[in-house]
Each structure stands twice: as structure tokens, then as C-alpha cells.
Amino acid sequence: MDFSTYIHTITALFVIIDPIGSALIFNSLSMDASQKKRTKMALKATIISTLTLILFGNYGEALFTEIGININSLRISGGLLLFHTAFQMVTQEKVIDQQNNERDISIFPMTIPLLSGPGTLTLSVLLFSNSNEITDKLSVAAAIISVMLLTLILIRLSTYLKHLIGHTGDELLRRFFGVIVATISIQFIFDGIHHLLLKQ
């Protein structure tokens, strides 16, 4: 396993998935649910998200190639999508629907769009496409599993986390992570344009 690839992937995924923010959202949406149901929803959301990111990350590029989409075009469009996500993280207030806390929130909104939304799926494809060696791909997969395990742990501790970090801390972290996501997105756009120009 390549340690530098592992660390790079964990950093990129951590800032866009935002395990702390996702845990706080989970707590707000499931306050009235029983502990058993909360545990079941947390496991379901993280397992489905992990499988989705690994499978789509590995086979998404082949799918795009099959329909005639260049991976560098994906880098540029994915970078623009990530930048849009980053812009929203920095500028918009987080709106949480607290109605009907008894419903199953594991698929929506936890899996889609919070843990494996369009931005995260695009990032996963780009990370796997940049991994030429099997060790690099294993590093990316291990990083995805690690971030999702951390997310699961934070979700289970979300009640205590809410009291510890508070609303102000959550807003501060979300905006800080938004700036980092914007930086990553610009790098993807630059790489995509650079590789397209080299092929001309």
C-alpha cells in the first residue's frame, strides 16, 4: 500500500464528506429514533456509501470511456462540480429538515447526497483514475474505508459531539473545509486542461 496516496485520499475525502458535519446532521435528523434504529441506519448508510464509492470509483471511468467521455473532460467537469460544492459549503447556511425524525434516513439524505453524493462520486472516480498501480488503488480503497469508519464512529458519538463542538464550531469547520475543497477542485480543472492540451 502506498502511504502517500493513502494520506492524500483521506485528506481529500475527509474535507468533502465532512464526517463531523455529517454526524451532526445525523443526530439532528434522528433525535426521536431509538438507539437500535439509529445504529441500524448509521451502519446501513456507511456500508452502502463505502461500496458505492469503491465500485463507482473503479468502474466509473470504464463506463465513461464506453460512452465516449474522456477522463480529462471528467476531471474538468468534476472540478467544476467540486468547486460548486465548495462554494455552497463556504457561502450557504446549512438547512436541516427536522420533521419526521422516525423515518429511515440512511439512503436519503445520509448516503445521497451527504456521504456519496455527486461531488464525492466524482472525486472517487478521479482518485482511482489517477492510480496506475494496484498498490495505489488499494490505498484509495483503504482510505475510503477508513474515512467511512471514522464517519460511523462520529455518528455513533454524535450526541456527545453536538454538545462538544456546537453550532458555531460546525459552521467554522464547514467553511474551512469548503476552502480546501475549492483548492482541490481547481487542481482537478488544471490537470484536466493540462492533459487535454498535451494530447493536441
DSSP-derived 3-state class of residue 41? helix
The answer for 68, left when phi > 0, alpha when psi is -120 to 50, beta otherwise, is: left
Return d(Cα 149, Cα 20) in angstroms, integer: 12
Mean pLDDT by 10 residues, the chain (200 residues): 90 89 83 88 97 94 82 79 78 59 80 82 88 92 97 91 78 78 82 81
Distance CA 172, CA 21 (A): 10
Residue with cell 467540486: 82
C-alpha cell at 11: 485528506
pTM: 0.74
